[in-house]
Amino acid sequence: MLVQRFKQCDIDFITLREPGGTSVGEAVRQVLLDNRLSLSLEAELLLYMAARTELVKQVLIPALKDEKLVLCDRFADSTMAYQGYGGGADLNWIRLLNDQATRRLVPDLTVLLDLPVEEAEARRTGEKDRMESKDYYFHCRVRQGYLELAGKEPQRIALIDATENREMIHEKIWALIEQSLHGMERS
């Protein structure tokens, strides 16, 4: 829905996903989501960082230099939530690694779609990947981690109730993006 809206408004943008967006990132994605593989938390974390490093260097920085809006599905906060809060990796270590991998780039706006774990599970269709297959308590810790991050940076992380209908959620997100875009024009 956002992609269509950006096109309608003639906004110069790119869409990215993490992990992914580069040949290395897509290969890493296959490894990270493969249910047949067992990875240590540290290996998982470093693979995410490797994919992020390549995405930032090859795609994100050039797009920003070309003054394109970047719409990315997941970024550094996801590693804090999943591997840090969910998996138990040291949050300070993750911050240090993220600073290196992102070259200290921080999104102007992060939209956090908040959904209770039970409802997320009920909505899930298809075969679960390696991350989706983790237990209920892991996903509760991830959600709490995201909420904690949002509480620490409310000026950047906008919390949206994802139990509402898609159209209402989209309109709320669009209003946040418009506000963010107008803020950047004034800067």
Q: Tell me the CATH number at 29.
A: 3.40.50.300
Q: Are strands 110-114 and 69-73 parallel, antiparallel or unpaired?
A: unpaired
- For residue 72, the SS3 value is strand
User: For every one of its 187 residues, what pLDDT tens digit does the chain have, with 9 covering 90 and above?
Assistant: 999 999 999 999 999 999 999 999 999 999 999 999 999 999 999 999 999 999 999 999 999 999 999 999 999 999 999 999 999 999 999 999 999 999 999 999 999 999 999 999 999 999 999 999 999 999 999 999 999 999 999 999 999 999 999 999 999 999 999 999 887 765 5
- The Cα–Cα gap between 3 and 15 comes to 8
pLDDT score for 175? 97
Query: What confidence tens digit (pLDDT) does each residue in 137-176 have?
Result: 999 999 999 999 999 999 999 999 999 999 999 999 999 9
pLDDT score for 186? 58
In the numeric block, the tokens 């999943």 are attached to 82
Helical spans, DSSP H, in 1-90: 2-8, 23-33, 41-55, 61-65, 76-79
44, 52 Cβ separation under 8 angstroms = no
- 134: containing domain: 2-186
pLDDT score for 182? 84
Number of structural domains found in the chain: 1
Neighbour-count burial of 71, counting CB atoms closer than 10 A to its CB (0-12 exposed, 13-18 middle, 19+ buried): middle
pLDDT score for 187? 55
Identify the H or E element spanning 96.
helix 91-102
**CB proximity list for 93: less than 8 A, separation 6 or greater:** none
The reply to whether omega before 19 is within 30° of 0 (cis) is: yes
